[in-house]
Amino acid sequence: MNWLRHQGKRVLAPAAALGLLAGYLFALLPLKRQSENLKVPLRKEWTELARTLGDSNQLNLDFGAIASGLQHTRLALRTLDNTRARAAARCELSPATEARMQAPFQLVDYENERGRQQDELRELAAKLKATLAPAVFEGFPTHSTAVTEPTLLWAELEMVTGLLHTALQCGIPTIESLNVAYTPSNAPAAFTNAWPKEIPIQIELTAPAPAVKRLLQALPMRTNELAAAPSPLSVAAPKPAFYVERILLRKQTPAQLEEVKAIMRVTGFVFSPPR
Amino acid sequence: MPNAAHLNTIRRVLAVDAGRRRLKLTLLEKHSNRIKIIQEESVDLQEEGLVTAEELKQYLQTTLDTWGRPPIAITLPQHLSNSHLIDLPPGSEAEAQQLIEAEVVKLSGVSDTPIISDFVRVGATPTGRPQYWVTLAKEGDVEGLIQLLGLQEANLCDVSTAANSLATTYLATVPTATQTILIHLGAQHTLVVVRHQAQTVYAGSFPTGSDSFTRALAQARHCSAAEAEQLKQHSETLGGAAPVPEMVAAVNRWAIELRRFIEAALQQNQKLRADAAAFIYAASGLGFRQPGLLTYLNHQLGMSLQVWPKQRYSPGAGFEIVHGTALQALGATTQPVSLLPAPRQEHWQQHRNTQRLARINNVLLVIASLLLIASLWHCIAQVMNQKNLLHKVREATEVLRTEQALTTQFQTEYENLRPLLQARQNTHDLLETLDLLEQTRSNRSFWFILIADQKSYFHGLHYATTAHAGATNVYGPWLLETGRPTATATNRSPARPGLIAELSVPENLDDARQVLSSIVNDLKSRPLFSKVDLLTDDLRQNLADPKVLLPERHFALALNFSNTIFQALPPAGRSRFDEPGTGRFSRRAGESPQPDLIQ
């Protein structure tokens, strides 16, 4: 034991020196190499991040701002989703139309429904002593080989009938023309396949100014809202919200100063893509 | 240079005093100026069975191992050495050394072995001649003792004579003592050291010790020496009821010899003779442990022997000499003398140098270890920091990518929804404007002839009056001037979001202008409009029916809506959206922010 202790003292210093050397060679040097190796990707990714942020001061990056930026973006997305949901609710089509849009398009069904709707409108116009010019019925959406999304015809049909029903109920005595054209919005090309789709409807009518104003006020309302309005309107056909895109009102004759001719382009929106 | 100059550099020493009957070992350690006895050991050679030299060597090696192999100092028996106080003429240390060496040659006489000597200056004579305490011994005797103990390979650091060691111990115990005669009664020799004026001035021994008392007792009792020794140590043989006459006679003989020896020592120096009465006699050695011996010497023989003084760090009884040897080796003396042979001095010096180097190496190793540990710590911390930072940067990059993807998604969805929002805003603005225009007519005599959005007004009306059958649901240009103008076209066009209202005022011209001003002032105060003013003539369009207007009193007003966020694309590539209500979602200045885009 004592011999071991004595020998231990003698070998302690060389062993310690060897240990130090081993520590330097096998621990410190690899760590330094690892540190140097880490510097390259760190510098690269740091610079890349700084460049992405447009930060001229590359020594300090505001990581907190990056995280909060993401939160703000998510908040904005949530706000937009809420907005979209509300907008979709206002522009929602009737369940029957939604179901027809989801089913394969059958021209015969569509033509039958279009005829039925036109008959109803004729009856309503006769009842209200209003005039619907033939051009109005000619302007109803029809199917042709140029129609790329025939299921949208159902939406257009509901919008047209809803608009005409509303106009008649608002006391419009003469509706001279109507035209429907699905067209992409003026959004950039990348968004043209996106939803909602705009359905612009152009209508031309002659009526007393109060009736036109009533129609304008009724356009953004849905059928149930019209019934609950201060001056309730009973519209038999389902009607989504319309928004006025273009308008021109002008007096017609000095004899009837209250009468105005109105040319309007109103837009409805379809949120649900057909199957 | 004196031999002992190499001392004073060690902290721990094992002193060995090998007597004929006992082996005494003491381990001392020096902490700053304090000497601490670590261990003392007195071995009875007979009792421990260390009869032969080999057994003694073996025992010593075992002890050295046990005690950690410290440096060793040996006590040289006084009868193997010679110490003298010599006067020299004044001169340098080198001259003194030369003279002393010459004197040593004279003192040693004809010798078959080299002489080892050491000296130390102890004072001066009244005439101013420096005095030196010179100690010498035969190198052969010293080497013989070393070989006897088997310490040839050990780290020998010092060899001290018994007298110098005894004087050193006494000085350490009673530093204030000036006139002292130290008497050490050993088994075979009696050592006498005379200290005068705090310096050792005489040392000598005579070959009579306590063993002579034992032999006398054995003779008287007809027993063995061992039995006599036991009897001597444990019974009163000098006084009491039955004193042993042979013992008394032996002690008397020893006392006479001692007196004669001391007398001879004092006779050597006139000053000593003068101060003879002032000396204190201090007794040491195991021989004085004999019961009644000191009493007998003091009372019956008229001697004034005092027991060895005891202090806190004094050695145990019988360890006075070996303790002094250790003190000499540690340099704790004012009169250092070393008889270590020159080759062993060199060896010891080399050993010391090696030790110093080893110590420096150790210090360097410790420093290097600390540096290595610190560097490792620093490197590990650096690598951890780098890893953390890299992870953070990657995480941030991922977050940024996610944010950019979400931003793109937001922009896409926003652009999809923006036409609806813009249309809704237009409708709202139109209805509000119609209400305001109706309000302006109250109590004023005028009528509106035409109201149109600016785009329709400036770009003309080409609406067909009859529908186009079968042109529905088709991509491509609208039959009736369909798509909205591009941003570039809008910039060139005078059309802004807003309305044009043409009106006729049936008053004289001045009144008509006043009416017009009041209408403009009413409307432009509304936050709905950014600008309300007359339309310049060059922009006027002839859309109204001439039959319903009053010439010269026909005016056109441009009602520009305030800008809304739905009229332009949001900044691309950024996701730093404003908080709702900070302007982005608020439609116009003066209106409360809207929490949502659709109410």
Interface of B with A in 482-541 (CB under 8 A): 482-484, 486
Six-digit token string for B511: 């009144």
Examine the pLDDT at B308 and tell me if it is beyond 60: yes
Q: What pLDDT score does B483 carry?
A: 40
Q: Do B598 and A90 touch (CB under 8 A)?
A: yes
Examine the pLDDT at B573 and tell me if it is beyond 50: no
A153 three-class SS: helix
Q: What pLDDT score does A7 carry?
A: 65
A237 Cα to chain B: minimum distance (Å): 21
Query: Confidence band (pLDDT; 50, 70, 90) for B470?
Result: very low
Share of chain B above pLDDT 90, in %: 33
Examine the pLDDT at B595 and tell me if it is beyond 80: no
**Which residues in chain B are contacts of A143 at CB distance < 8 A?**
473
A262: number of CA atoms within 13 Å, CB side? 28
Q: Do B470 and A142 touch (CB under 8 A)?
A: yes
**Which residues in chain A are contacts of B382 at CB distance < 8 A?**
35
Q: Do B469 and A6 touch (CB under 8 A)?
A: no
Considering CB atoms only, which of A35, A66, A87 is closest to B417?
A: A87
Q: Which chain A residue lies closest to B435 (C-alpha atoms)?
A: A213
On whether the CB atoms of residues B587 and B562 are closer than 8 A, the answer is yes
Query: Confidence band (pLDDT; 50, 70, 90) for B91?
Result: confident
Considering CB atoms only, which of B455, B547, B577 is closest to A246?
A: B455
Q: Do A186 and B362 touch (CB under 8 A)?
A: no
Q: Which chain B residue lies closest to A178 (C-alpha atoms)?
A: B467
Reference B335, options B535, B96, B171, B562; nearest CA is: B171
Q: Do A244 and B426 touch (CB under 8 A)?
A: yes
Q: What pLDDT score does A146 carry?
A: 82
Average pLDDT estimate for B4-16: 74
Query: Confidence band (pLDDT; 50, 70, 90) for B464?
Result: very low
B45 Cα to chain A: minimum distance (Å): 24
**Which residues, 6+ apart, have CB-to-CB distance to B329 below 8 Å?**
B7, B10, B13, B15, B71, B73, B157, B158, B160
Q: Which residue has the higher pLDDT, A257 or B175?
A: B175
Q: Do B467 and A136 touch (CB under 8 A)?
A: yes
Q: Which chain B residue lies closest to A255 (C-alpha atoms)?
A: B548
**Which one of B380, B456, B472, B474 would you mutate to disrupt binding with A, by most A Cβ within 10 Å of its Cβ?**
B472
Q: What pLDDT score does A22 carry?
A: 94
Average pLDDT per 10 consecutive residues for chain A, totaling 275 residues: 62 87 94 93 89 75 88 93 92 93 93 96 96 95 86 93 96 94 46 74 94 95 90 88 93 83 93 73
Q: Do B473 and A150 touch (CB under 8 A)?
A: yes
**What count of other Cβ atoms lies within 10 Å of the Cβ of residue A138?**
16
Highest mean pLDDT among A159-173, B50-64, B168-182, B353-367: A159-173
How would you list the strands of the sheet with B130-138, edge to edge? B81-87, B130-138, B115-124
Q: Do A156 and B430 touch (CB under 8 A)?
A: no
Q: Do B431 and A194 touch (CB under 8 A)?
A: no
B29-50 tens-digit pLDDT: 988 778 889 999 999 888 888 7
**Which residues in chain B are contacts of A79 at CB distance < 8 A?**
580, 596-597
B514-544 tens-digit pLDDT: 889 999 999 989 999 999 999 998 899 888 8
Q: What pLDDT score does B570 carry?
A: 46
Q: What is the DSSP string of B355-391?
A: HHHHHHHHHHHHHHHHHHHHHHHHHHHHHHHHHHHHH
Q: Which residue has the higher pLDDT, A85 or B571?
A: A85
Considering CB atoms only, which of A49, A73, A184 is closest to B406?
A: A73
A236 Cα to chain B: minimum distance (Å): 24
Q: Do B376 and A28 touch (CB under 8 A)?
A: yes
Residues in chain B: 599
B580 Cα to chain A: minimum distance (Å): 8
A84: number of CA atoms within 13 Å, CB side? 19
Whose tokens are 């359905």? That residue is: A199
Q: What is the mean pLDDT of chain B?
A: 83
Q: Which chain A residue lies closest to B476 (C-alpha atoms)?
A: A183
B367 touches chain A (CB under 8 A): no
End-to-end C-alpha distance for chain A, whole angstroms:
92
